[in-house]
Structure 1
Amino acid sequence: MSDAVSPEEVRHVGELARVDLDDDEVDQFTQQFGDILEYFETLDTVPEVDREADLTNVMRPDEERESLDHEAALENATETEDGYFKGPNVS
């Protein structure tokens, strides 16, 4: 466990978040925050990459094609009104 986080800091963060923490929770969060900071310290050991990644377009090219006609688009709609889909009222 890292000593980078003190119980006072955890209480301060709790106050900022307007969360009342009892002593057990402060101890638990102190441990968890320390563990999280250790994970970030581990990331500092990962070597940097000095080259640009080779990016390639993996998407297919756009192709124009016929769309549904108006009647076919509304064919399976449970309700329509004036040639449009009709959905439930939202209040």
Structure 2
Amino acid sequence: FMQDHVGETFEGVVSSVTGFGIFVRITEYHIDGLVHITSLDDDYYRYDDVKQCLAGDSGARQYRLGDQLQVKVAAVNLDERKIDLI
């Protein structure tokens, strides 16, 4: 379904935070995708176990559970059932 939406931008909510990125639930479709930590290129981000967030080294930005953001569908892998977001 989402393969028809590659390149489109959607509103989403952070549904999970890990050491390798953030999972974002696309609000319109209730589908989760991954924003890989390497896609967050405005800073160097580290996972904070205590705060359960990805925090930028500059201190300017953090990604936490429940944060709202805009994401773009970068790729869809039907075989692995994965959606890559940026």
The two structures share one fold, judged by TM-score above 0.5: no
> Normalised by the size of structure 1, how large is the TM-score?
0.19
Q: Give 1 or 2 for the bigger CA radius of gyration.
A: 1
> Normalised by the size of structure 2, how large is the TM-score?
0.20
Q: Give the structure with the larger strand fraction.
A: 2
Q: Give the structure with the larger helix fraction.
A: 1
Pick 1 or 2: higher relative contact order, CA cutoff 8 A, min separation 6.
2
